[in-house]
Chains A and B, each alone.
Chain A
């Protein structure tokens, strides 16, 4: 056995014993997971663009297919916007855990001695920052191009922001349950879409009220409640799903 130089050995493993070190807090570990995902995403930009391009295409094709008449377009804005939002976020979901399962990262997270719930919450947060947030920026632009009045922008941003958070969180549960499967796309949609319908309904309603100038507090409150429910429960469910799927 060759001995390491003392300074190298001391640098790698603490001298007092093999397990004499302070483990990282779960919060710090979650921050590492978030940073890792953001770093990786910016090196694989192609993946990021896909759901956004999909969203842009769907919303821009409608005026061509339906009618260029603004009054008619304005009526269909909520439906178009939210169907596109739902499908775009579903499209992005496939990337949430796929690579991490293949290269064993998720397994190492499960064995890290850190809270898997916190690590998955960090991953979902990164996912929302990379897909949900850009969609939140794009949604009002799409609505304006379909003839929505500028007074509706604030309401649309609020509804898409709240709804998008919930969609990412619901998606993380679906993705955690299907991560062992090779072609999980269809099953993932089947699991996730029914759970997402409340978001679609309240989101579309909020958007409609924003466009017609109504009071949209009620649907926004419901969207907020769903988001809070998602933040509290979805990471726990996703952690349980990952543990089952890894076995």
Chain B
């Protein structure tokens, strides 16, 4: 089996008149985390969405385990989780139900697994509450529990520590560190420093 790797080669993306990504290159191996930095509007989110296959680049390739992800987008998606700006949660469902339907569409989950994951991100007490009643930081924690549950090798995270207190920031750092220690890969757009242990690469995008 080829080792898990993500390669981004000469990626160019235009949004209307704007040349957002101008030839991005990068290679990532097992246990490595790519940190995307740069001012607002420099294309961090666009790069993440392009890697995820939501946006179509004008030029360039994204390769997973040596193969262009466009050849088989579905099996690539089964190996990755993308977490955007907003936690993908339903206000009228409880935290537990949200995870059961969100991650539960990818892999079979049991109630104890969901509760364990919520507990591991400090959101165990929120399991039965409607997400509508939670604060932004608490919602973020529920989304992180989903990330922990997804059990995929590649994480694409857009500002995962937004709205979190210092304890929550530590939760994110631990989550990513453990993911890397297990041989996972992560691409993370970050504004604030996050103390992740493991192989860190940095890609600074210019505005």
Name which residue of chain A comes closest to B112, CB basis. A11
A1 touches B177 (CB 8 A): yes
Most buried by A among B84, B105, B112, B151: B105
A18-B182 CB under 8 A given contacts A1-B173, A24-B107, A104-B88 = yes
Known: A29-B105, A36-B101. A11 touches B179 (CB 8 A): no
| A23 CB within 8 Å of chain B | yes
Which residues of chain A are near B173, meaning CB under 8 Å?
1
Nearest CB to that of B177 among chain A residues? A1
User: At the interface with chain A, which of B18-26, B35-43, B90-98, B199-207?
Assistant: B90-98
Contact check, B90 vs A11: say whether CB atoms are below 8 A apart. no
Distance, CA A114 to CA B77, complexed state (A) = 8
Q: How far is it, in angstroms, between the C-alpha of A32 and the C-alpha of B105 when the chains are bound?
A: 6
The interface on chain A, measured as residues whose beta carbon lies within 8 A of the other chain's beta carbons, has a size of: 44
Q: A14 vs B152: C-alpha distance in the bound complex, in angstroms?
A: 11
List the A side residues contacting B80 at CB < 8 Å: 111
B116 and A12 contacting across the interface, CB-CB below 8 Å: yes
A116 — nearest CB in chain B belongs to which residue? B74
Near A by CB (< 8 A), chain B positions 144-187 give: 148-149, 151-153, 170, 173-174, 177-179, 181-184
> Could you tell me which residues of chain A, from 98 to 116, have a CB within 8 Å of some CB in chain B?
99, 103-105, 107-115
Bound Cα distance from A105 to B101, whole angstroms: 10
Which residue from chain B places its CB closest to the CB of A13 in the assembled complex? B151
A130: min CB distance to chain B, Å: 14
CB-contacts of B73-110 with A (<8 A): 74-82, 84, 86-93, 97, 100-102, 104-108
B91 (CB) vs chain A CBs: closest residue:
A103
* B-chain residues with CB within 8 Å of residue A72 when the two chains form the complex: none
> Is A66 part of the contact surface with B, judged by Cβ < 8 Å?
no
Chain B residue, CB-CB nearest to A8: B116
Q: Decide if A197 is an interface residue (CB 8 Å cutoff).
A: no
Q: Closest residue to B4 on the A side, CB-wise?
A: A19
Interface size bracket, B side = 35 or more
One of A38-46, A48-56, A225-233 at the interface: A38-46
What CA separation (Å) do A3 and B197 show in the bound complex?
12
Bound together, the chains give a CA A9 to CA B113 distance in angstroms of: 9
Residue from B56, B105, B113 within 8 A of A24 (CB atoms): B105
| CA of A146 to CA of B90, assembled, Å | 42
How far is it, in angstroms, between the C-alpha of A1 and the C-alpha of B173 when the chains are bound?
8
Please tell me if the beta carbons of B151 and A109 are within 8 angstroms of each other in the complex. Answer: no
Is A29's CB under 8 angstroms from B149's CB?
no
Check A119 against B105 for contact (C-beta < 8 Å): yes
Give residues 75-113 of A contacting B (CB, 8 Å).
Answer: 99, 103-105, 107-113
A103-B179 contact given A2-B174, A112-B77, CB 8 Å threshold: no
Contact of A113 among B56, B75, B174 (CB under 8 A): B75
With both chains docked as a complex, state the minimum distance between the C-beta of A44 and any C-beta of chain B, in angstroms.
Answer: 6
In the bound complex, do residue A4 and residue B97 qualify as a contact, i.e. CB atoms below 8 Å apart?
no
**Beyond the given A2-B170, A111-B81, could you list 4 further A-B residue pairs with CB under 8 A, ordered by the A residue number?**
A13-B151, A18-B153, A24-B108, A105-B88
Of all A-B residue pairs in the complex, the 9 with the closest CB atoms, nearest first, are: A113-B78, A104-B88, A113-B77, A36-B101, A11-B116, A1-B177, A43-B92, A29-B105, A13-B151
Could you pull out 24 A-B pairs where Cβ atoms are within 8 angstroms?
A2-B174, A4-B178, A13-B151, A18-B153, A18-B184, A22-B107, A23-B78, A23-B107, A24-B104, A24-B108, A32-B100, A36-B93, A39-B93, A44-B92, A103-B88, A105-B88, A107-B82, A108-B82, A108-B102, A109-B105, A111-B52, A113-B79, A114-B74, A115-B74
Spell out B's residues near A (CB within 8 Å).
52-56, 74-82, 84, 86-93, 97, 100-102, 104-108, 112-113, 116-117, 119-120, 148-149, 151-153, 170, 173-174, 177-179, 181-184, 197
